Amino acid sequence: MAVKKIVGAPGCKFLDIPVDLTLVDRNLSTLWHQLAEQKNFRNRILAFLSWIDQKLPELHPQEKLINEFLCSINQHDLSVADLANSLCYSPRHLSRKLSEATGINTEEILLYKKYLHAVHLIHNTELSLTQIAYQSHFSDQSHFIRTFKAYATLTPGEYRKNKSRLEGHLYKNVR
């Protein structure tokens, strides 16, 4: 939700294309140089947070709720109607808002959040893949495997065998 306020264009405009953001907003060039001057990653994060605090106007309460939903690891078990109701939007209006901000509709975002929850459980529990599918609210094991493979290009079992300590990262045989 913040991308549109910061660069003047919705996030969906930047899907699957490389963009030199310094051409979109000259202030990003200044940020780039400030980040390059920092000695370590932590200082870069602090510099970025300081920059974004100055740049970001106050979000509307509903936009804040949408951001909280998108950033939350939970809330993977909602229906479109439940989510729209909790954010005080109609399902159709919510889908338009989310599609403009992210480039994907509400149903796809909810499915992606189920996938992210499954990845979290694979990394942080010893649950069986069947239990993970159930706790992530997939309709059945087949749906879980198809969805997981669509996002990770691996089945959940393959992912579990190749996962690293960092969520979402895999070990690869590289020399």
What residue spans define the domains of the chain? Answer: 2-55, 61-105, 108-162
Pair 123, 112: CB distance under 8 Å: no
Task: Round to whole Å and give the CA distance between 52 and 1.
Answer: 13
Write the pLDDT tens digit of every residue in 5-32.
776 777 777 777 787 777 777 777 888 8
Neighbouring C-alpha atoms within 13 Å toward the C-beta of 41 = 0
For position 175, what pLDDT does the model report?
45
For position 112, what pLDDT does the model report?
92
Global pTM reads 0.71
The CA-based diameter of the chain, rounded to the nearest angstrom, is: 52
Q: What is the SS3 assignment for 120? A: helix
At the topology level, CATH places domain 108-162 in Arc Repressor Mutant, subunit A (1.10.10)
Q: What is the pLDDT along the chain (175 residues), one digit of tens a residue?
A: 666 777 677 777 777 778 777 777 777 788 888 899 998 888 888 888 888 777 777 778 888 888 888 878 777 888 999 999 998 899 999 999 898 888 889 999 999 999 999 999 999 899 999 999 999 999 999 999 999 999 999 999 999 998 877 776 666 554 4
Mean pLDDT across the chain, nearest whole number? 85
Task: Round to whole Å and give the CA distance between 83 and 99.
Answer: 15
